[in-house]
Structure formats: C-alpha cells, structure tokens
Structure 1
Amino acid sequence: MIDLKKVSITDLKGVGDSRKEALNELGIESVYDLITYFPFRYDDYRLTDLQEAEHEEKVTVQGVLFSEPSVRWFGKKKSKMTVRLDIEGVAISASWFNQAYLKSKMQQGQTIVVSGKWDRHKLHITVDRTFMSPQEQQTQVGRLEPVYSISSRVKMNYLRKLIHEAFMQYKDEIVEVLPGYICEQYRLRPRAQAMYDLHFPQDQKHLYQARRRMIYEELLLYELKIMWLKKINRTEYQGLSHTFSRTQLDEFIQKLTFPLTGAQQRVVEEILTDLQSPTQMNRLLQGDVGSGKTVVAGIALYANFLSGYQGAMMVPTEILADQHYASLCALLEPYGLQIVKLTGNMKVKEKREVLGKIQMGMADIIVGTHALIQEKVIYRQLGLVITDEQHRFGVKQRAQLREKGEVPDVLFMTATPIPRTLAITVFGEMDVSTIDEMPAGREPIDTYWVKKDMWSRIVSFIAKECEKGRQAYVICPLIEESEKLDLQNAHDVFEQLTTSLAPIRVGLLHGRMTAIEKEEVMGCFEQNEVQVLVSTTVVEVGVNVPNATVMVIYDADRFGLAQLHQLRGRVGRGGGTSTCVLVADPKSESGNERMRVMTETTDGFEISRRDLEFRGPGDFLGVQQSGLPQFKVADLTRDFKILEIARTDASTIVADDRFSESKEMKRLWEYLHAENLIEKNFD
C-alpha cells in the first residue's frame, strides 16, 4: 500500500509549483492532507416545501416564470432584477442582485430552480444560486454541496474538483485503521467510503454515517495515545512511596477550625493514596471558587512533610503567592513546618537567604511564582509539586518544576472547573479529582446586571455597604484611558470614587505597580484601612478578604464567563449576603447572553459548560497552553458521548496483553509507533 502522507499533491494532474504553493498555504502538502481537508459546512440544494419553511430560512424551490424580468439600476454597476414565479400554484417573487446578465437567459413559461433566503411575510426569495438548464437541475438539485475554507489563490470549484480527482486516483490506497470487530460492533462505514462521503454525500443519511465514523476514529486514536501515555506513566515511572503516620495526619485534620466537606474528604483520600503508591502521582484537582482546594493542598503538603520531603507550590502571580503563603503559614507553622516564599521581585539579600534554606533543607514548603523553576533554585529533597491555576502556565514551565526533583508527586490545581469532556481529553493522562461541594455557610452571591446610566445608584450602594463596615471591589478592564477603546479605566474610576465617596478611603491596584506598592495596598485593604479597592483583574485569583461583600465589574461584557466568575468569587467569603454588580451595555448578542448566564447561576461547573459552548475548546483553555488537539471532524462539546465510548474502548485495547501481537490491532499499534510512543514497530 502507498503511504498517502508521503505522496505530494504535485502527483495530481494539473498541480504545478504555483498551485502547490497556494495549497500549501492552506496546510495541504500531501494527498492525505487533501483528502482529509474536510468541508466546514454544506449548502443544501434539496427542494424545500415553502409551506413548512421558516422565515429567513435558506430554501431551494422549482418554479415556472410567469413574468418578464424587470431590472432596476443603481449607478452603472449595481442592479436588482425581479421576476414572478409559480411554485405549485403559489405566486412568489424572486430577486437577484448584480446579476442582470441572467435576464437574457430567462423567458416566460421556463422552469428554473432558485436557492436563497425566504421572506415568509412578503412571499419573496433573495436568490444566491440559480439552476437554469434541465441538465444543471438534474445534476445539482437535490444534493449537498461541500463548502471549504479557501483563499484568494484557491477557488472553491477548483478545490472540489481536485479532491474528487484525488479520490478517483487513490481511493484504493486509503488504509482501514479500525479493527474489524469495532466496525461491526458500531456498524461503522469503511474508512475510504466515509472519507469520500464527507466530501460528496449523496444525502443527509450518508453524511451522518460518514461523520459518525470519522468522529469515532479521531477520538479513538487520540484516546489511545492518552491511555498509552497513562500506562507508561504507571508502569515505567516509579515515584516516591511516601510513608507517614496516618494517626498524626488525622489529628491534624480534626484540629482544623472547620470540618471538611464530603467532597474534600474524598479527594484527600485520593491524593493520600497516590502519595503512598510507588507510582508517581499525576493528578488534577479542580473545584469551584471557594470550594476549599487550598486546605486540601495543605493536607497533602503536611503528609509530604511527615514523609521527610520538601514541598513546592507554584502560582502565576505575586498576589496569589502572598495569599497562599499567608494561608499555609497559618495552617502549618503551628506544627513546626518552615515555610518560605520565593518571587522574582525579592531583594537580592532576601532571595539569597531563601535559596540557601531551600538547598540546605531548612525550608519544608516553598511557595512562589515561576521563580521556583529558575536554575539557581536547588531543592534538597523535593517530594511534592503543586501548581495552582495550572492553565496559566505553559506545559514547559510545569515540566520544569517537576524536573527539580527526582520523581516528585505532582498535583495540579485549578479554580476554573473544566467540563468532564475536556478534562478527560486534555488532561487524559492525569487522574482527575473534583471538589463539587461548597463548604457549609457559603451563600450564593446575588448578581445583578445594570446599565451604565445607573452608576450613581451603584456608588450609593457601595457607600451604604461601607457604612455598615463592609468593603467593596470595583474592577475596570483598563489601567489608563485609551484612545482606541471606549472602556472605563481604573485611574479615572479611582479619582471619581475618591471624591464621591469621601471620607470613605479608596485604594488603587493594577499590574504596573511595583511588588512593594501592591503589597502595601493589599495590606491596607485586608486590614480594612482601605474600604473600596479599585483594581484591574490582578485580583482575579488568590485574594481573600472575608469582609468584602460587594463586587462591581465595569464593562463586564468585555470579560469572559470564567473570568467574571473568578472575580465574583472574591466576595461571599465571610458569611452573610454578598452582591456582584455587572455594569455593561453589550453591543453584541454574545455579550448579552454572558450577562444573562451570570445572573442565572453561581455554579462554576454550569458556567464552565456554557463558556465552553460560547468559545469552543481552543479559546476556553488557550490552545498554546493546553495542548488541545485540533480535531478535523470531532467537536468536544457536541460529541462527548462518542468521546466517552472511544475512551472506554481505548482503555480496553491498551490493557489487552495481545495488543502488540494481534494482526487486527496492527494499524493501531503502528499509529502509536508513528506518534513516537512505541520504539518497536509491528512485526
């Protein structure tokens, strides 16, 4: 068999250097690239029953001309041509824009087929496609026409013809990769036929079966890779087997000032089991804002300490580092643990002292930013690595911290709940623990969406809360005024509120301030010396001021759902009622919809699911950071049921001792070999 990935598109008739270059710009270099360059949608030219058609729906109808075409000109080049059509006894009008040349081809009594937008109220079609001749109607009408992403150098018709030619020449060389028993079990079409039908479907049924086959194949191959990586991690990478006194650890948990929720207890047990196992832990801990992930991390770090190892926690911002440092000191220092903080803006002398403690083993827990992975940082005996808000670090950064120890256990944490579909795909080689229960006493935050003309009332509301001894955040999307963006900025709002709220003290916080300036402002806010904090999104994660009960977000429609939810999570931490006010005049329907979602639910998992629907997987996680696969046919939000079936099948295949020897599995084994996951190819 010929490997179509190695067959250049220049082997196809009529593809010279110029067309090769144009196709390369679309990512098409080989014949395999060409035949897997699937349409992103289809134009449906099946005849429509107008009685059932919705208003403004695209329709295709066949009718008889019973009026002469009339043409109106707008200047020398723009025109509108209108005719009357008889559609099974119903008279409708049809119009064409800038296609006056068609007038000479039309005559009364002629049968034509037109396709376009249907105005049900005016009984009118705005035509975008016309089929004039009987031959054209016979070959084109009634079918689904593929629509591809193209460029100015690659025309649609040319690409369709080239793909068809590639199939005519190489269809027999398309190799079946799925085992026969799977194809029979799920009644999947042969691979070559499914690929062809994705480009040139006879009807909706053929298209559905083709998509179903190729979606399953894509997801199975990806999950096969994930499951193989998971198997390698568990069998080949031996980790540390932590030994600690469970009695001592239980006493520590019992002395906490609050009881653990059932969900916290469950994930603690999962993490402790991993720590005691000789296999390296590779676990993702996810939970909503305020669900209690930090205390779970603290328990894991204490268990790691009891085993005689150092622990490190890496966070994305200095504010979050300060917060975790303070929390862990309060939690663990009474038990004799030495906790240090390491950030990039520390003074040279202070940093040198901290580095010495880390290297000599005098620091039991190290909390810091990406400074933790610098070359100068040498750990004495690193046993546990925790990365908080892990999606904010690149894959390389996360790996660098892991490599600071021999085989430390690794725990990733995120307060951006990830829908199960994405969790098992992007983090499939990890075990996933989920805290899906909020601590007792946490009341839902009242959330309101108001227009900007209500600003004076919002200021009055802030003043009343401050008079009760409470505090407030006011978030702005910009630091300073911008000529390009008509958005509120922190400096202007700070000056406005300083005047209008006097004598209430207002503070300002943003990313351009020095570390010392940020610490000073946050310290004043935490001590209630500053009652209102005007800030950019630097407070999105990690800030914990229980006395703050008001969160005002200006130009809220400029933020994503996950970010809005994180910001809202800065209040509601001290018991009692808290309020979030979204100030926005959205200029798009998506902005309106985001505001509606935020006012309807405070459930982070539901918000996460809706955010995934709005943005798609790549934008949701950040493609560069996440390592998210770019599927050609599958859609993780739509095809989650197939994903879970594929994952189960992949797990069964990898666990089968006959996998490497079964001829039926040959193509799957070769796939893993091609992905450089297996050194030995199939014999």
Structure 2
Amino acid sequence: MNLADIPVDVLPGVGEQKKQDLSELGIESIADLLEYYPYRYEDYRLTDLTEASDGEKVTVQGRVYGQPSVRWYGKKKSRMTVKLDVNGIHIHVIWFNQAYLKDKLHAGNTIVISGKWERNRLQVTADRTLISEREQERHVGRLQPVYSVTSAVKMSWLRKLIYEAFVKYGGHIKEILPQELIQRYKLISRAKAMYLLHFPKGKEDGRQARRRMVYEELFLYELKMMWLKKVHRTEVKGVSHEFDMKQVKEFISGLAFPLTGAQKRVTREILQDLRAPAQMNRLLQGDVGSGKTVVAAIALYANYLSGYQGALMVPTEILADQHTASLAELLTPYGMKVVSLTGSMTAKERRDLLGQIQMGLADVVVGTHALIQEPVTFRRLGLVITDEQHRFGVKQRALLREKGEVPDVLFMTATPIPRTLAITVFGEMDVSTIDEMPAGRQPIDTYWVKKDMWPRIVQYIKKECTKGHQAYVICPLIEESEKLDLQNAQEVFEQLAVEMSPIRVGLLHGRMSATEKEEVMRLFAENEVQVLISTTVVEVGVNVPNATVMVVYDADRFGLAQLHQLRGRVGRGGGASSCILVADPKSEAGVERMRVMTETTDGFEISRRDLELRGPGDFLGVKQSGLPDFKVADLSEDFRVLEIARSDAAEVVNQPNFQSNPETQPLFEYLMKAELGATSFD
C-alpha cells in the first residue's frame, strides 16, 4: 500500500470542501497528512511550583477563590487578576486584554493556566487558559502539537484527523533506510518517529523522533544529489578537450601577475575536467577580488586551443561589457576574438554578430541570460561559464548543460557560500574554492559611523577626489518615502552635486534605461564623474580600479553578504581604500551586522555569520530555487548531520549492487520515482 496514492478524503469528515481546504496546506494524500509536522508544541504537563525557577514558563492546575478583578485602560486594554490555590500555594494570576474570561471564572472552579512564573511575587502572567473539564482532560499532561493552519482548517480538527490517519494507516508506513544505517546510528523506526513527531509523550520522545527524521530527510536529499552526480559522470558524455598543456602554461606565464596557490589549484581541477570525457559540472566560488576571471580566461583559452567556442553568461549588461573588455585584454594577444551579445544592440549589429557566432568567427561570446534563451547558434560550443548565477536551481542548471553538444559548464559566484549550503544547494556539482587573495591586494579599512558624522564624510570624499581618486555613495531608496526614514539616492545626489562642486557627481539607479546606466557607468569608469551616487545596481561585478571610497548610507538595512559585495567595489587598484558604513541601527541584528563588517574582510567568515543571523532561506533569498524545503531539518543547526548524511549517501549509491540489493532497493525505487530536476525537487 502506497500512502502517497491514497487521497485524504478517504478519512471520515473530509468532504469536498475540507479536501480543498487541506489542499491549500499542501495536503492531498494520507502521506502528505502524516508528514505535515508541527512547528512547535504547547507544553501542558503540570509544573511543581516548589521547584520552578523565577521567569520559567509553567503550567499549573488550581482552584479559583475570590472574585476576578478587572482594571480597564482606555476602551480596549485591560488587566484582570484572580487568586488561585495550587496544591496549597496561593498565587495571583494576571491576564492582559482577556476580560471576556471574567464571567467564566467562578470561585471553586478548577482551571489550568500556563504562563511566566514570578517566584518572588507568587504570580503567573497567563498566556493560555483551560477552563472546561473536557479541555483539561484533552490537554493536561501532554505536549500538544501546533500546526500551520488556515481559518478554514481548525487546529483541533487537524490534530484529530492526523491521529485518525495514524490509527488507520500507521501500520502501512514502510521503512526506507537500510537496517545497517538504522543500527549504526541507533535510530528508531520510521513509523514510530513519524508518530512521535506529532504526539510526543515527553521531550526525549520528541528528540529521538526528530533525530531520526532529520537524518532521513537529509540522507534522502543527498542520495538524490549523489545519484545525479554518478549518472552525470558515467552516462553524460561531454567534450574531451585536447590541448597542449605547454601553451596553457605559456599563457599563464604571460599574465601580469603570478597565480595564487588557490588559483593554481582550481585551474588544475578545471583543466582536468576539460580533458575528461564526462561533461564538466563545476562551481567555482571565490571572494570578491580573488581572481576568478583570470581562471575563467585560462579555461576559455584551453577550450579555444582544442578547437571550441566559449560562452560567458552574466546577470547584467554593465557586467557583460566589463567582462568583454577584461577578457579581450587577456585573450586577444593570442589570436582570440571576444564579442559581447546584449539587448541594447541594433538589429543589424545583432544579425551580423549572430552570423559570426554561427560561422565560428567569434571565439568567446559574453552576454546576459539571453545568450542561452534566444536562438543563438554556435558552430562548436565547448565551454559555458556563468557568473553570479548562484540563484539557479537544479532544473535551470540542467537546462544550461543541454545547450550545444554537451558543453562543459562552469558556474562562478563571488558570494561565498558556507560549506553546508554549498553541498546542499550545489550538491550535484563539484565545488572549487579560491580561498586566498592575490598578493598586494590591501585589506579595505571599514568604519561604522553614526549619521551625525555625515558632514565629515562629505569632507573626506572631497579630499580623496582632490587626490585624483573616486568614490561610491550607496543609498537604499531611489526617491523619498514617507513610510521609511531612509536616505535616498535622488536626495543625496542633489545635495552632493552642490556641496562637491566643481567635483562631478553622477546618479545611477534601477529605474534608468540600460542606455542611461551604461552612459553613467562609462563616465565613472573613465573618471569623467568622480562621485557615483547609486542604489545597489553596482553590487555585482562593476570594476573601477580608481575608486577608493565606498560609503553605504543606512547600512543596517542591507544584509551582510550585500555589504561585503559593495565593499568589494573598492580597493581594486592597489591603493589604500576605505568603506564607511553610515547607520543608527534600531535592532540588535543591525548592530551585529555593523560589528561583523568592521571585524573581518573574509567573505567566507562573513557568509558563516550571515547564515547564523538570518538562516539559510533568507541567506539565499526567500525564492531561492536551489534550496530544498526541508520539513524537519534546519540547516543552521543540523549541518553536522548533513555532512554525515552526504558521506553515507555517497557510500550507498556507489555500492556495486545498489540497484539489486534488497536492503537498498527501496532507495533505488525512491530515486526512480523522484522527479530529479523538477520543480518539486529544486
């Protein structure tokens, strides 16, 4: 019996309307219902007040004596008190804004209340109250599950429905993990763990249930990743590049600077992938300024030597132009033609360029995502590199790999991702990391100042500009907003244009047309504009080596990763640079972000702290398609389990008899049913 195939309306009380209501919660089948886990529990186990600590959350049962007293503050706010005898201890109970309970509280009644215990005052501030005998019988002494529900699906009804589903179908829950793993980690059975997640008798029950289901969830996810990786390596035949390693070494020797140890390591890994008969599927991550572009140029040169064209996909036209210029500088002396394909080209320019690409006259094509979406035909595409496309999910990455005749694919990101997330989001890929900065790259001095320092900051920017340097000033809004008291780009531009004269000030924001943005960036890159007021348009990849000052206004409104990316826009020309964070944080999280930014310039350390502060969903963006939606596991807490599960999944998948062994056959069947790469997966 497959519980995923049994519709939820087989249960009594689930008619057409309730079936639709449950569907809105993602519950379609019995399996969905049994796996609809609570997000917390209400603890109705009674507390011994003689042992309770001050400030502790307690639940007590006692007899009301005396009459409730209500004091009103205005028309809606109230404070009600009553005396309660709890096993001979006389306490005061306080309810705020719950005066409606007054008529239900009678002397001699036995009630149950939960709330904060103030030991010195013998007082409980109640947040939950059980008055009827029926309620008390159903709740007292138990941990009650709390689910995400809607107005149409009541909590009590859902609890009862889940219990009935376990009574009727709990015996049909099949084990999926091999016994060897269950015994290795002393895990309870799947059926027992699922039941106890809903109805634990105590904290130890809940701990054991969660331990089992966290491991299973992470193991099954990593099993998919390991299977994809294995299939990709053994079945997807890619381009086996043949190139003269001596020529590649000469190219590297001809660079204006020596490669760092980390650059050499990742270059070696990428070149090995290019030579292998399987398709390359690799992520290259490195901090801002760590030298990923040079590594990409080496890979494109090796690809060219073997007779193939290369493509570099970037998120913005500004970045496409900058990459085209930097790659042309590196590759043109070796006879390679680097071109840029963007949306702002004229129809004739586009037609001519598409013809060159199709005939193989263009060796490297740089462009936005239109590069793979539009009918761009390559004569012989051998390598596709994507920059800052870390928001691609598994399915989108698979689509990219299908372009051309199975070209090798290299994904690059300057957003350092903690190892836990990297092996989760990019689990089907090989990961190379540049964890070393080039020699001579000076650390950027970072300062956190309050807003009343703004006049001094303006003077500092002026001073730097008179030395021939340039500055960025980043603001979170384009125009004035009545709802948020944030500095905005338009206002700052108008102010500084006057105060900075004769120093030229430019304005850049997301509402400008592509042509307008490009013109402003050209003027700034050529030092015709010395101070650029901008929203976060400049966050990714813009390269102006002459810029030495980065000012971020209302910096506490930005995430750590974003602040680090912005800071990376300066310090690119070898001169001393500074980043000034202007903020009066209203929250502890804002203060912590400012503290982290001034303590370290290490992108990987910042990403680790960012993950701790925000959690994985917010770290990658709420709509991040690459992040699986785990029901029980929490990547911020369960990263050690994730690494163990990954190792175990690799061990299981690579067993020679994985598909036929009775112990692992349920796992193989699970993989065959899973839509690897479909929306439910990525």
Question: TM bucket by the smaller chain?
Answer: over 0.9
Residue type matched to 1:438 in 2?
Answer: M
The aligned runs of 1:655-666 (5 Å cut-off) are 655-666=654-665
CA distance in 1, matches of 2:119, 2:315: 55
Of 553-562 and 627-636, the range deviating more from structure 2: 553-562
Q: Is the 8 A contact 1:443 1:572 kept in 2?
A: yes
Shift of 1:266: 0.7
Shift of 1:519: 3.2
CA distance in 2, matches of 1:121, 1:419: 46
Give 3-state SS (helix, strand or coil) of 1:626's partner.
Answer: coil
Deviations 1:311-334 (A, max 9, x none): 110000011111111111111111
Shift of 1:137: 6.1
Asked if residue 552 in structure 1 is aligned to residue 551 in structure 2, the reply is: yes
Of 585-594 and 52-61, the range deviating more from structure 2: 52-61
Residue 498 (structure 1) aligns with: 497
The aligned runs of 1:88-167 (5 Å cut-off) are 92-97=91-96, 98-99=98-99, 101=101, 105-107=105-107, 113-119=112-118, 123-131=122-130, 140-167=139-166
Q: Is the 8 A contact 1:71 1:100 kept in 2?
A: no
CA 663–131 in structure 1, closer or farther in 2 if over 3 Å, else same: same
**TM-score, normalising length from structure 1?**
0.93
The aligned runs of 1:229-240 (5 Å cut-off) are 229-240=228-239
Residue type matched to 1:604 in 2?
Answer: G
Residue 469 (structure 2) aligns with: 470
Shift of 1:374: 4.4
Residue 585 (structure 2) aligns with: 586
Shift of 1:235: 0.8
Shift of 1:191: 0.8
Residue type matched to 1:349 in 2?
Answer: K
CA distance in 1, matches of 2:49, 2:578: 51
Shift of 1:233: 0.5
CA 500–468 in structure 1, closer or farther in 2 if over 3 Å, else same: same
CA distance in 2, matches of 1:514, 1:255: 39
Q: Is the 8 A contact 2:27 2:33 kept in 1?
A: yes
Give 3-state SS (helix, strand or coil) of 1:163's partner.
Answer: helix
Give 3-state SS (helix, strand or coil) of 1:319's partner.
Answer: helix
Give 3-state SS (helix, strand or coil) of 1:580's partner.
Answer: strand
Of 267-276 and 7-16, the range deviating more from structure 2: 7-16
Shift of 1:287: 0.7
Residue 285 (structure 2) aligns with: 286
Shift of 1:104: 5.8
Residue 7 (structure 2) aligns with: 8
Residue type matched to 2:280 in 1?
Answer: M
The aligned runs of 1:555-570 (5 Å cut-off) are 555-570=554-569
Residue 69 (structure 2) aligns with: 70
Residue 380 (structure 1) aligns with: 379
CA distance in 2, matches of 1:60, 1:456: 56
Residue 319 (structure 2) aligns with: 320
CA 94–606 in structure 1, closer or farther in 2 if over 3 Å, else same: same
Shift of 1:660: 1.4
Shift of 1:113: 4.2
Asked if residue 214 in structure 1 is aligned to residue 213 in structure 2, the reply is: yes
CA 625–83 in structure 1, closer or farther in 2 if over 3 Å, else same: closer
Of 479-488 and 605-614, the range deviating more from structure 2: 479-488
Residue type matched to 2:471 in 1?
Answer: A
Shift of 1:653: 1.2
CA 101–529 in structure 1, closer or farther in 2 if over 3 Å, else same: closer
CA distance in 2, matches of 1:341, 1:167: 60
CA distance in 1, matches of 2:157, 2:268: 60
Residue type matched to 1:585 in 2?
Answer: D
Percent identity (aligned):
70
Residue 681 (structure 1) aligns with: none
Deviations 1:100-124 (A, max 9, x none): 546665437x775421133467553
Deviations 1:218-241 (A, max 9, x none): 111111111111111011111111
CA distance in 2, matches of 1:249, 1:391: 28
Of 603-612 and 90-99, the range deviating more from structure 2: 90-99
Residue type matched to 2:246 in 1?
Answer: T
CA distance in 1, matches of 2:177, 2:501: 71
Deviations 1:618-673 (A, max 9, x none): 33324645332211111112111111111111111111111111111222122112
Shift of 1:574: 2.3
Residue 640 (structure 1) aligns with: 639
Give 3-state SS (helix, strand or coil) of 1:664's partner.
Answer: coil
CA distance in 1, matches of 2:466, 2:86: 72
CA distance in 2, matches of 1:71, 1:473: 59
Shift of 1:459: 0.8
Alignment gaps of 5+ in structure 1: 679-683
**TM-score, normalising length from structure 2?**
0.93
Residue type matched to 2:14 in 1?
Answer: V
Alignment gaps of 5+ in structure 2: 678-682
Shift of 1:446: 2.0
Q: Is the 8 A contact 1:373 1:400 kept in 2?
A: no
Q: Is the 8 A contact 2:146 2:155 kept in 1?
A: yes
Residue 603 (structure 2) aligns with: 604
Give 3-state SS (helix, strand or coil) of 2:175's partner.
Answer: coil
Deviations 1:532-568 (A, max 9, x none): 1111211111111222111111222332221111111
Q: Is the 8 A contact 2:70 2:99 kept in 1?
A: no
CA distance in 1, matches of 2:660, 2:291: 47
CA distance in 2, matches of 1:120, 1:575: 62
Shift of 1:135: 8.6
Residue 38 (structure 2) aligns with: 39
Give 3-state SS (helix, strand or coil) of 2:456's partner.
Answer: helix
Residue type matched to 1:654 in 2?
Answer: V
Give 3-state SS (helix, strand or coil) of 1:182's partner.
Answer: helix
Shift of 1:75: 7.5
Of 5-14 and 73-82, the range deviating more from structure 2: 73-82
Q: Is the 8 A contact 1:391 1:626 kept in 2?
A: no
Of 663-672 and 512-521, the range deviating more from structure 2: 512-521
CA 55–459 in structure 1, closer or farther in 2 if over 3 Å, else same: farther
CA 101–528 in structure 1, closer or farther in 2 if over 3 Å, else same: closer
Give 3-state SS (helix, strand or coil) of 2:390's partner.
Answer: helix
CA distance in 2, matches of 1:129, 1:222: 39
Give 3-state SS (helix, strand or coil) of 2:117's partner.
Answer: strand
Give 3-state SS (helix, strand or coil) of 1:128's partner.
Answer: strand
Residue 60 (structure 1) aligns with: 59
CA-atom RMSD, angstroms?
A: 2.6
Residue 680 (structure 2) aligns with: none
Q: Is the 8 A contact 2:391 2:626 kept in 1?
A: no
